[in-house]
Each structure stands twice: as structure tokens, then as C-alpha cells.
Structure 1
Amino acid sequence: MSAELVAGRSQSEAAHRARVRAAEYARLLAGEREQVRRHEAGSAGERRVGALLAAMSAFGWTLLADRRWPGTKHANVDLLHVGPGGVLAIDVKAWAEPHVEGGRLFRGQEDASDDVDKVVRIAELAAESAGEVGLAPLEAVPVLVFAGRSLAPVQLGRAVLLGEQELVPWINRRGARLTAEQVAAVRTVLERDFPPYADASPVPVSVVTLPPVVPLLRPAVQDAEVEALFSVADVERSLLEGALVAPIEDWMTFLHPAQAKLVRQTRNGPARVRGPAGTGKTVIGLHRAAYLASTRPGRILCVSFVRTLPAVLAATFARLAPQHVDRVEFTGLHAWARRFLDARGVRHHVDLGAAETWFWRMWARVGRGSALAEVPVPPRYWWEEVQHVLKGRGLTEFEEYAALERVGRSTPLNRAQREAVWQLYTAYDVALREAGVHDAADLLLLALAELRREPLAEPYAAVVVDEVQDLSRAGVQLLHALGGDGPDGLLLIGDGQQAVYPGGFTLAEAGIDIRGRSTVLETNYRNASRVLEAALDVVSADAFRDLDDALEAGARRMAVARAGGSTTRVDARDAAHLDAALVQAVRDLTAGGASLGDCALLTTTTKDAGRYAGTLRRAGIPLLPLEDYAGVPCGRIKVGTIKRAKGLEFKHVFLPGLRAGGEAAVAGESEVASRERLEVARRELYVGMTRARDGLWLGYVG
């Protein structure tokens, strides 16, 4: 059956279910409204809106009406609505002339912003309660409903303003963000923390209503008779739209309670969240950005060294917190620096190919015959030394280098050898200046110098940095200058065990003090236990530094939340046989019901990514280059390098082209230098393996 026919059938079935559920909703609504007519308590508008919501029990929702405001004796909360779309704190207003002007709510000529603040506070209290069981803070939504009116939804800060007629369709379009089990857990804590205000509530609520059984044939359903203000056809359309929206990932809306607490926590200076792969660091950063945007004015900057990650996070954030997309900026660090320099009129000409060419010319001229020739490392070691140790720090005086502890570099260098490195560095710097060329490190150094000369006219309210372990010292100093040392200004997220570039630095060296504001995560929520076990075997023997002075053991303490999973190793005698095994493994996986859109093929080099992309294309397997992936679901396997996949996750990951027996030896390399290089390679493989949630395929060539 073709994909078009399958998609058409799925949409027809979704429409069929929407009709059945809308008919059941109409039946329940008629019953609820009859109860309202016989009920005396509460305002007419609140009773009518309550009936609309109570009838949504057919869709898995529960209405908590007339509840006590936590911590008070007499204040009450009109309506809390709990269901698949999250938690809605609803205040009903029977106003004649509500309107929004200049970002404020008015009732006629009267400023009614206090009413918005009140419902926002109720939502915040509900979020605090539900955070105990892991609800993400922004999934508690403040809503002002204007009874008896038709008003298209308007976002006013955190709050949503809309008319009575638009309420139920708007809720349905939120889709299924929580499972039935998660809804039950949230409802339990809200019932505890928001007890009934009085013996009788404005709307009699049936806590449990069985969903309708969907018949095989299309039912001949007649809409129940309801008041003209409300259209059951709108419910049917909104149910269908919600069903056809791509499902939102569970981790977007439901966090572990400890994670939810971190998202809301206030810190009085720069802070850090660290921990092994799969512990939810990127998720926390995403939710933290949404929370900060919802609780304070100003722009939020979310930065990563990985070019692929910002686009994916931006797309995810747009589904998580669409009301804040215009205030949260997702970008790669070098892309931000380039835009900043362009806006300031600072000239720059980054040409990575030309820069490396100039380096090797200077190596041939002043490096090859120097004291560096006696150090047992390959020539590329010196390119890395210049880029990551020297330029990554922005060093300009030799004595700084002479006294430097070269974090992450194992090969010792005496003073004469360091002087030779400095001479190579100086010659390279002069060559770039004369050629009018900049390398990637120059871009960050220029941006840092310009920012120190003239800070931003409109500073960021907060800066969230992901994959911080892959940044240079200068890069982190640039972000520190943007975020500052104020409360919640800078959040650094990362893990030294996932550093995939040579060299390193410490936060103290960068002038950033996080004492008392560092959190270590120790529970892996992503990887199934068999996948994680295989990945940890790769790095468990390698100690590492995590942006501080202490060495940490590779075998780290970690709890695993998900059991099972699968790891498959294929040892092929040559590349052709490995290609055949790879294609068959992909076909077997999809034949078993897996979606290609949930899979990724990752390699250590761009060249290998292109080679295996060709293998898949020749086999007729649809693919999407990882560099083009922007977080939008599609039915194609993602193909790219492990470095581009950092911060992402997939249900199934294929890692072909691995070398049996480990990486090849390099001529003239000492044991110390070899160990350093192989540790970086193992960390990179560990990153690739931990991108897999459920299934991992490892392809080796003998």
C-alpha cells in the first residue's frame, strides 16, 4: 500500500473518531446544561462555561470547580481543568467590553491587568504543585474566558484570552501532551493542594466518564440540540486538527520532579547543570528558557557550539511555548558572533580552508625544523595546540603560555618546545593578518573584544549555553559577558565526558564562579539499559576533567530509568559486506514497524557520512542530511556526523564504518599522545552510541 493511501486512510479514521467523540460530547453537554439549569450557586456565565468543560470528560479531562486558593482561608479558584492538554487555570468573566490595548487588558476604559495577574498566579501555584510529579512549568496555562462572547484566542504574556465559543476547540487543538497516567498523577496533587472551597460547586462534575466505543462503520450522528452560541461542529473540527498534528514528545511536557524543580529554581549568579549522557540536560535547558521567558521581561539567548542543535531546539520550543518564540533566540555561537560583528560594522573574513593552508605553510617554514621535531607527535598535534590551547584562549603573551596548565593535553612540553610552539603561532598569526583572513577562533575573539568595547544596548535577560564542554575559553568568556553575574543570567549545560575536541579549560580559568550553583544529574532517562551499558563500556576506563581541576573516573554513578533495548554488533570482512548488512538492518527494522524518521546513521567524518548516504540512496532508502534537519518530523532516516548529532536523540542509531581493534596507530606518535587521541575518539563514539534510545547497531570492518 502506498504512503499516500496509508496517510489518507489514517486521516479518514481520525475524522471518524472525531465525529464519534464530538457526538458523545454533545450528548454529555446537553446533560451538563440541564444540571446547570437546576443549579443555583455561582454566576450564570461560570456555570455555562463549567458545563462546556465538564462535558470534556469524554476526552479524558477532569474539571475541578470552585477550589480553595492554597494558603488562604477565603480566596477561591474558579476552575482548574486537567487533561491530555495539560492544566488550565480558568477564570470566567462576564464583561461587556473586554479588549487588549498596548499589551494590557481593559474592561471598557478600566485597566483590568490585575485580573490577568491573578489567573497567572493561580497557574503558577498549579505548576508548583504539579511539578512534584514532573509537569513542566509552562504546561499549567492561565486562561481568561469571556462568557457569552466570541473572541479569537489572544496571548497576553503567559495568559490566553478567548471567548466562550472558542474555548473547547482551542483546548482540543492543544492535542495530547500528557498520557492518561500522567493526567491522573497531576489531578491527584491538584485535588490535594486545591481542596473544594465549599460543599457545593457551581457545576456538578462527573469525575469518571467512559470514552465512547468507536463503531466500525461511519455512524449517522445528529448533533444534540445545544444553545446557538456553541457549535458541536467546531468541536469535531478541532478534534480532527488536534489528532492530525504530529505528536509532541513526552519529554517536552513531563519532566522528572527533580528536573521540574531545576527549571524553576532561582540562582544568584552563573550556574551549571552537568551529568552523563541521557540525563536530560538539554531538556532542562529548553524548559528553563521557556520558564525564564514566561517570568521576566527581556530576551533570552540559547546557544550551542553544535550548528544542528539550535534549529531543532527552536522548532521544539515553538511547539512547547509558542507565545514566547519572539523573545527566545536559538543560535550557534559562531553564527551569533558573525551577526553581531556585521551589525557593529566590524570587518571579518573567515576562510577556514585558507587559514589551514597558511598554517601548514608556516609549519614547513618555522615549525618542522624546530624543537617541535623532537616531540613524538604527528604534525596535526600542533594545529590543534594552536587552535584549541592558544587561540581558544586568546593568548597574546608568551609568558601566559609558559605558565599555562594545558588542560586536556597529556604530552609534556618544556620551555624550549613551548617557545617553538609560540614562534609557529606568531608566524601563523602574521600570515593571516597579511592575507586578510580570519579563522573560527578569530571570529569569537573579535566579538569578545567588540562587546567589551561597547556592551549591548539591550542586554539579554538570560543566556543558556548547551554543550559548553566543546566551547573554547574565549567562547565561554563571550557568553559570560552577555549573561553577566546577576541572578539567573548565565546557565552552563554540558558534560566533560562528551567533549569531542582536544584540549580544554576550567571555568575558574575563564573567570566564572559557580560555587554552590552546580547541579549534577545522575539518572539516565533516555537510553535503554542495554544501549547504555554498551556505551559506558567504551569510556569507563578513561578519567576526564569536567571544566574544573579535578579528574573524574570514567565509570560514573548513574541510575537507569529504562530497561531493555537492543545492541547489535556486525563484524564484516570488507566494506561491501558491511554496506549490505547495513541496508538489510534498516529494512528489517522498518519491516518490524519502526519509522525511518525515528532513525539516524552517524559517522565520525563528513566523508564517511557522504559515503553511507550514497549506500542508502542506491538501496532506495529515503534519507535527510543531518545538517538539513530542523526538528520537523519526517519519514526519512537522518544521516550525518556524530558531532552534528550532539544534543539530539533517536529511537534507533546505526554506527557503521567502525574499525575492529580500535583506531589505527599514527606514525611517530608516543604512547602518551596516542592515549590522548584515542580518549577523544572513544568519547566521540560514546556520544554517538548514547544518541540511541532503544536500538543501537554497530558495524565494524575487520
Structure 2
Amino acid sequence: MPTLIWSKVKDGLDPSMKKKAYAFFEKLQESDQLPGLHIEPIVGSDDSRVRTGRVDDNFRCVLFKLTSTDEPFYVIHGVWPHDKANSIAERVKLSMNPINGVPEVERVLDDIRTEARTPVAGTSATGAPVPATPSPASTPVESPTATTALGTPAPVVAQPPRWVGGLTAEALHQDLGLDADLARAALAAATEDELVEDVIARARVEWQADALLELATGSSIAQVKQMFHLDQAPALPAPEDADEDTRLLASIENHPAAKASFHLIDDDDELRRIIEEGDLGAWRLFLHPEQRTYAEGDRKGSFRLSGGAGTGKTVVAIHRARHLAQRHPEARILLTTFTRNLADDLARGVRSLDDSIALQTRLGQPGVYVKGIDQVAWAVVQRAGDDIADAVAQVLGDSRTDVLSSTPSTLWQEAIEDAGADLPPALATQAFLEAEYTQVVLPNRVTGVTAYIRVRRAGRGVALDRAKRVAVWKVIEAYRTKARAAGTTDFVEKAAIAAAWLDLRGDRPFDHVVVDEAQDLTASHLRLLRALVAPGPNDLFICEDSHQRIYGQKVVLSHCGIDVRGRARRLTLNYRTTQQNLGWAMGILSGAEWSDLEGEQEEHTYHSARTGPRPLLVPAQSFADELDRAAEIVTSWLPDPGADAATNLAAGRAAAPEDIAILVRDRYKRQNLVAALAERNLDVRSVDRDAPRPGKPLAMTMHRAKGLEFTHVLLFGVADGAIPRALKDYESSDADLADALLRERALLYVASTRARDVLAVTWAGKRSPLLAGHSRNGDAA
């Protein structure tokens, strides 16, 4: 009975062939001699192991046959139309890297969709690498752009790669195992875009492309070796003791780096999931070696993993939860994040990764408990029942038990009207008082005016003398009094109360806690996380990106009792977004200072091996004109119903309507947009809290889109005054205003990085000052 090994190949299975492909592989698992499979070698192929098999009259599967045992192993490469499959089979190769022992599938370059380009340093007219030497650092230069029928491609700022000193192609070949010609071409690239578009995009081996990206961002050879587990090469059978197939199979099964590209299929259910999910399900099977290290490694205490949008933090978090559940079947594991929508996505991810993992619905049970952090706080408070009174007294200063109902946000304004007469007008805003309450009062468990007068207010940005503190406290006290009378608490209060109750009882309902999007949590949320699990090995696993903080205020883990000193790492390789879209999105972050959850300055240098068109910038003279342009753009992206997914994608169209998203700043704009596009004969589905459904392009707010991805994204209404929105309520504090501006910048960055392949941006009048590459006067011309 043959064993199937799935290899990671982009665009290796035509979507229209899923059912027939599954039937083919199911039969192949029984026997490669069954009639109808037609497993045949290719005469004159570059690799004698290559075979093709008949999926139907028009499609064939390309695979490699390894015959090291009584029963063969088949490495699946992909399914393509008949002639294309034969062409690929003639040239594709499976081999073992002679330097480091990593098994490699050498892709056929004709199957890598790249745009035709003028030859540049490091490539010949045919795209083949040519010998070269490292290029000197150069001054960034903004390339010119040409207006298209739909808009103007964003300008590109050319930056040189940041190789460490002394790198040579020979060292990259001998020490890492990179192809020597590829290494020479990479070192000759004058700019990062040139490196990605003309060298890395044409690399025949995927891990070598990724390694070059890491080196181009300043990593050393030693660091890349460790990152890709090349320093952990297993002992393979010697050539004199085993044939080549046996050695290759041993490498596939045992080399740590092989897990990033090869996966042994266990059963029919797994085979079906792989085929159904296609490329979108690749995250289930293949982790970058560095990601696998973080997902499966043991630590002596809490661990922090940072990384930009698309670097795979959520994937690592899901794999981490599964790994802990597999290793410790009786363990109680929490997988949490800031919003309920994102928590639902995490739960779906766990089920997709491993449906044998028990998803629990109650605290304290073995298995994985997946909830938003506010749901967790609510569950803890509910569990406490009447025993919650002492914890409430610690946090709010009064012993009551009716704290489950939610306080409406309008209560702050009522408190200001009733008790804010002594407040200076600049401080009499809900934004200032909420921030003061969340960042100072609740984390420090301040329950009276005397304690508030003495408490430190580091980082609040506005000094308060004794009189002002007394005036502020009057409003806070009024807010608490009104909430007490109504029997309510807000979400942050619940988190603080839940943490206090757990600390009072010494109750730790979880053995391990994994949190995604931690940058959006408040100090009280982080204190709750610390209270949910006892300090110790593998207690807290925290994923965060300060550039995506669109909800909460700045916090520092150590101020919340969480120690990650020496246990923090950063992911830098983006798997979602093209280098063109990523570079443009990163430009939105420039000009501002960012700090991570350890209070250290956050870098924002990320790279992608994926390449595509530059973002399209589309000014409009009026709102009606912008709607017309938006309708035209989205219509041009709609798939041709008579073409298959691969053909649509090759033509720059989406594979399905729901792969297109239109993102706006708020719900009001979303509703107006949907109605206006309908008048222009474009049917778009509005998405709020519900899960996106197929069949139509989707319209949603930028906040709602967080955690999602689409092949085509239109950012609509990115005008001055819309984003950043008016921030008058934050002007009472320089720190609050600066932080609010950071969140607006982060929101636009989040929205931009939802696009995998194609990104367009429209605005009417003056464009947003946050836009990368905006004109000097900011107008629509």
C-alpha cells in the first residue's frame, strides 16, 4: 500500500479538480497498479523519479516515486492540465541538498507567475541568474509612476538590501547550502524590490528564497542556520549503506527543516481536508522552522512573540494550543484574544487544525477553552457568584455582588454632567476620563480620593495637581455610584474584579494560557491573564504586534506582573501580503514612534517573498465620483464566471466574489456605501458581527476586517478628516492625543495588510495625511 507525502507547492491543485483529485489519491493509497491511474514515467525527464497519473481525460497529477521499501512512497507535486503537467514533469526535480541534507523540490520557473520585466543587475534577459558581486549601499530613490485607466500605482522607494558585512556567494553556498548562482544574483541586486521581484520570485527552492530574505534584512549566516534548523541535521544513512531513495526518504521523515515543505498523510480524512482547503489550508501542514520552534518549544516562564501583520502569529498561537493539548491531554488550556469575532476565528482554526482536540465550554475542564478575554472575565465572575463581594471591594471600594450586567458608555457623560463642575473644560471629556480610569485607577485598585491623589500617573501626558485630582475623582465616584445603583460594571472593571477574585482565592483555572493580539488588551486584562495561570514553565504564551493596536492603550507586561525577560522573539517574514503592498503599508507606520509590550522601541522592518502589482491610488473629485470609481474597480476584479480560479487569478481577477473586500472607517459609511453601490449595479454584502458568507464582494469596517484576509482589497473614503477621524476629545492630554493618532495610523495599516495580492485606495478631495506617498499639498490632483 503506497504512502502519500504532500509537498508544499503553490498553485499545485486546480480548484475545479478537487473531487476527482481526491478519488485519484484515494485509489493510489490502495495500490499504484489499479486500472485507470496510469502511473507512468516521463521519457527524458530531469528526474527519473517523476511520474504522472491520470486524474481525468484533461488533467494529470505530477508526483515522485520513492522505492526504498517494499511499498512505494509518492511525493505529490500537483495537478495541472494534461500538457502543462507533462511540461512540469519533464523539468521538476526532487533531491537532497548536498550541503545540509534538506529535501528539496525544485520548482519549474514557467509555473511561477511573474510579470515581464526589463533585465536588471543579477539576471539575464531570460531571468537566469548571472555571476555578480554585492552591490554597494545606495540612497533610496523614488521611482516614477504612470497613471492607468483606474488610477496611479503607488510610488516605490528603492532601498538597498541590508546584508551583513563580508557575505559572499561562496559562503552562502558552502555554509547554508544555497544555490551558488542564486546567491550571486541575490548579492548583486541593487534594491530590495529588485531582489524580491527578479531573484527571490524566481528561486526554484522555497526555503532558499526565504533564507535570502532573512539575510537581506541583516541576519547572519549563523542566525539563519539556527532559524531554519540547519544546525540540527540528523545523521542520514551513508551513500555506501543505502541507495539514494532511502537516504532521501530518511531526510523527508527526519530532517527538522523538512517539516516546512513535506507532510506524510495519515488517513483519508486528512487527505480530504488537504484537498478541500488547498493553498488556504497550507498553514495546517507546513510551518516555517522558526514558527515550529515557537509553537512547540518549552520555556521556563512566560514567552512573548511579536511580528507584523501576516507573519503568522495567529497560526503559531493555534499550533501552540494544539501542541500543549497533545502533550498534556489533561491540561486546561486557554486560547484567547481581544474580540469575540477573533476568538470565533481561533476556534475555527483549532477545529480545522485538529478536530480531535476537545473544545471546552466551561472553565476548569481539560481541553482547549477558546473565548474572547471579556467572555473569560465574565465567566470567572459568574463562577464566583456571591463570593465575588470581597474582590469587588478591592477594585471598586464597595462590597456588592450584582456585577454581571454591562454599564453603558453613556454613563460617563452623565457623571460629567452631574459631578464635573469643578473640572477644567479640557478634562471634562469622556475620552480623558475613560483613559484615566482604565490606565491609572483600575490597575492600581484605587478606591478613594486619598489613594488617587497619591497614585503615580506615569505616561498620562497631562499633569494634575491636587485640586484637579479631587475634581477628577468626583466624576469617577459619580460614575461608580451610578453603576452601583444600576447593578452594572464595564468590561475592564469585570476583568479587574475577576483577577482580584482569583488572587484572593489562589484559584488558577488554567495550566497554560495562549493569547493572540495581546497589544489590544488593557492592563486589567493582562493582570487577569496573569491570575488565570500559576507562574511556571509554559504558563503564558503572548502574541502581539504594537503596529496593530487599534483598541487599547499602551501597556507594559512587567507592570502587570508578567515577566518575559530573555524570552521574547520576533517574526519578520510576511506570508500573506506581496512585497509591494507590504512596503506601502509599512510607509503608513513611518513618522511615528512605536513601543512593544516590554516598553522597548518597536522596529517595523518586514519582508515578503511574494510579489505583485503596486497599490493603486485613486483620487476623486467628489463623493459621487469616488463611488463611481469604486464600482468600476470592484467590477473589474469580479471573476469571469466562464473561467476557472487559476485563469481568473492570472488575469488579475478574484477567484471568487467573496475574495474581494471594501473596507471603510465606520459602520455609517459602510451602510451608505452598500446602498450607493447597489444603485451602480454592484451588489455587495454588508458584514457586521456575522461571519462573512460567499457569493458577493464584502463591505465591512476596518476594525471588523482585523484577522481576515482577501486577495483584493479596496480602502474606500481614505480622505483627510475621515482617517484620522476628528480627535477633539483627546486634546486634553498630549499623550492621549498622540496615542489616538497612533491607533488611527495602526488601523489604516491593519486595513492595508488585509490584501494578499491587489490593493486599491480611493478618496474624495484631500487624501488622508496618513497615506504613504501622499502629495505635498495633499489634494486630489
1:423 Cα offset (Å):
2.1
Amino acid at match of 2:488: V
Residue 439 in 1 paired to residue 500 in 2? no
Distance in structure 2 (CA, Å) of the matches to 1:694 and 1:408? 39
Q: 2:63 aligns with which of 53, 60, 65?
A: 60
Residue 646 in 1 paired to residue 706 in 2? yes
Assess if the C-alpha contact under 8 Å between 2:496 and 2:527 holds in 1.
no
1:607 Cα offset (Å):
2.7
Tell me which moved more, 401-410 or 516-525: 401-410
Q: 1:355 aligns with which of 408, 424, 428?
A: 408
Q: 2:318 aligns with which of 286, 289, 313?
A: 286
Q: 2:574 aligns with which of 524, 527, 537?
A: 524
Distance in structure 2 (CA, Å) of the matches to 1:288 and 1:363? 46
Matched with 1:540 is 590
Distance in structure 1 (CA, Å) of the matches to 2:514 and 2:725? 38
Relative to structure 1, the CA distance from residue 445 to residue 191 in structure 2 (aligned partners, 3 Å threshold; closer, same or farther) is: closer
Amino acid at match of 1:504: K
Relative to structure 1, the CA distance from residue 625 to residue 416 in structure 2 (aligned partners, 3 Å threshold; closer, same or farther) is: same
The secondary structure found in structure 1 opposite 2:334 is strand
- Residues 317-396 of structure 1 aligned to structure 2 (within 5 Å): 317-326=350-359, 327-345=367-385, 348=402, 352=406, 355-367=408-420, 369-373=421-425, 379-391=430-442, 394-396=445-447
Residue 424 in 1 paired to residue 475 in 2? yes
Q: 2:756 aligns with which of 690, 693, 698?
A: 693
Q: Deviations over 1:176-231 (max 9, x none)?
A: xxxx9779999x99997553899689x99999xxxxxxxxxxxxxxxxxxxxxxxx
The secondary structure found in structure 2 opposite 1:283 is helix
Matched with 1:121 is none
Matched with 1:579 is 627
Relative to structure 1, the CA distance from residue 416 to residue 596 in structure 2 (aligned partners, 3 Å threshold; closer, same or farther) is: farther
Residue 621 in 1 paired to residue 683 in 2? yes
Assess if the C-alpha contact under 8 Å between 1:626 and 1:638 holds in 2.
no
1:309 Cα offset (Å):
1.1
1:290 Cα offset (Å):
1.6
Distance in structure 1 (CA, Å) of the matches to 2:571 and 2:232? 27
Matched with 1:600 is 661
Distance in structure 2 (CA, Å) of the matches to 1:341 and 1:237? 40
1:497 Cα offset (Å):
2.5
Assess if the C-alpha contact under 8 Å between 2:412 and 2:430 holds in 1.
no
Matched with 1:677 is 740
Matched with 1:254 is 286
Residue 462 in 1 paired to residue 512 in 2? yes
Relative to structure 1, the CA distance from residue 132 to residue 296 in structure 2 (aligned partners, 3 Å threshold; closer, same or farther) is: farther
The secondary structure found in structure 2 opposite 1:508 is helix
Relative to structure 1, the CA distance from residue 281 to residue 245 in structure 2 (aligned partners, 3 Å threshold; closer, same or farther) is: closer
Matched with 1:612 is 673
Amino acid at match of 2:337: S
Residue 449 in 1 paired to residue 504 in 2? no
Residue 313 in 1 paired to residue 313 in 2? no
1:499 Cα offset (Å):
1.6
Distance in structure 2 (CA, Å) of the matches to 1:350 and 1:670? 32
Assess if the C-alpha contact under 8 Å between 1:409 and 1:502 holds in 2.
no
Q: 1:491 aligns with which of 519, 534, 541?
A: 541
Assess if the C-alpha contact under 8 Å between 1:306 and 1:646 holds in 2.
no
Please, what is the CA RMSD of the aligned residues? Answer: 4.4
Assess if the C-alpha contact under 8 Å between 1:25 and 1:55 holds in 2.
no
**TM-score with structure 2 length normalisation?**
0.60
Q: 2:237 aligns with which of 180, 195, 202?
A: 195
1:373 Cα offset (Å):
2.2
Matched with 1:96 is none
1:427 Cα offset (Å):
1.5
The secondary structure found in structure 1 opposite 2:558 is coil
Residue 274 in 1 paired to residue 325 in 2? no
Relative to structure 1, the CA distance from residue 543 to residue 12 in structure 2 (aligned partners, 3 Å threshold; closer, same or farther) is: closer
Q: Deviations over 1:460-498 (max 9, x none)?
A: 231101111111111111111223211111111112222
Distance in structure 1 (CA, Å) of the matches to 2:761 and 2:402? 42
Distance in structure 2 (CA, Å) of the matches to 1:58 and 1:287? 30
1:334 Cα offset (Å):
1.0
Relative to structure 1, the CA distance from residue 640 to residue 508 in structure 2 (aligned partners, 3 Å threshold; closer, same or farther) is: same
Aligned length: 536
The secondary structure found in structure 2 opposite 1:446 is helix
Relative to structure 1, the CA distance from residue 456 to residue 380 in structure 2 (aligned partners, 3 Å threshold; closer, same or farther) is: closer
Amino acid at match of 2:63: G
Assess if the C-alpha contact under 8 Å between 1:82 and 1:183 holds in 2.
no
The secondary structure found in structure 2 opposite 1:60 is strand
Assess if the C-alpha contact under 8 Å between 2:519 and 2:552 holds in 1.
no
Relative to structure 1, the CA distance from residue 240 to residue 598 in structure 2 (aligned partners, 3 Å threshold; closer, same or farther) is: same
Amino acid at match of 1:508: S
**TM-score with structure 1 length normalisation?**
0.66
The secondary structure found in structure 2 opposite 1:481 is helix
Distance in structure 2 (CA, Å) of the matches to 1:482 and 1:470? 18
Relative to structure 1, the CA distance from residue 414 to residue 485 in structure 2 (aligned partners, 3 Å threshold; closer, same or farther) is: same
Q: Which runs of no fewer than 5 residues in structure 2 stay unpaired?
A: 1-13, 36-52, 79-99, 106-203, 210-227, 250-266, 360-366, 387-400, 640-651, 766-781
The secondary structure found in structure 2 opposite 1:272 is strand
1:656 Cα offset (Å):
1.4
Q: Deviations over 1:395-450 (max 9, x none)?
A: 33556655656566434434432332222111111111112122112221232233
Amino acid at match of 2:325: A
Relative to structure 1, the CA distance from residue 467 to residue 574 in structure 2 (aligned partners, 3 Å threshold; closer, same or farther) is: same
Q: Deviations over 1:528-584 (max 9, x none)?
A: 12212222222211112222344x26x633333333343122222333322222222
Amino acid at match of 2:237: P
Q: 2:525 aligns with which of 475, 481, 505?
A: 475
Q: Deviations over 1:564-620 (max 9, x none)?
A: 343122222333322222222221111453022223333332333333344455545
The secondary structure found in structure 1 opposite 2:717 is strand
Matched with 1:29 is 33
Matched with 2:606 is 558
The secondary structure found in structure 2 opposite 1:651 is strand
Distance in structure 1 (CA, Å) of the matches to 2:597 and 2:671? 34
The secondary structure found in structure 2 opposite 1:645 is coil
Matched with 1:634 is 694
The secondary structure found in structure 1 opposite 2:326 is helix
Assess if the C-alpha contact under 8 Å between 1:528 and 1:694 holds in 2.
yes
Distance in structure 1 (CA, Å) of the matches to 2:555 and 2:473? 19
Assess if the C-alpha contact under 8 Å between 2:27 and 2:34 holds in 1.
no
Q: Quick one: percent identity of the two aligned structures?
A: 28
Relative to structure 1, the CA distance from residue 253 to residue 617 in structure 2 (aligned partners, 3 Å threshold; closer, same or farther) is: farther
Assess if the C-alpha contact under 8 Å between 2:311 and 2:573 holds in 1.
yes
1:394 Cα offset (Å):
4.2
Distance in structure 2 (CA, Å) of the matches to 1:291 and 1:337? 25
Tell me which moved more, 502-511 or 396-405: 396-405
Matched with 1:120 is none
Relative to structure 1, the CA distance from residue 340 to residue 675 in structure 2 (aligned partners, 3 Å threshold; closer, same or farther) is: closer
Distance in structure 1 (CA, Å) of the matches to 2:671 and 2:443? 29
Distance in structure 2 (CA, Å) of the matches to 1:23 and 1:587? 42
- Residues 172-211 of structure 1 aligned to structure 2 (within 5 Å): 193-195=235-237
Distance in structure 2 (CA, Å) of the matches to 1:344 and 1:489? 23
Distance in structure 2 (CA, Å) of the matches to 1:240 and 1:515? 43
Distance in structure 2 (CA, Å) of the matches to 1:651 and 1:527? 9
Amino acid at match of 1:338: W
Amino acid at match of 2:752: M
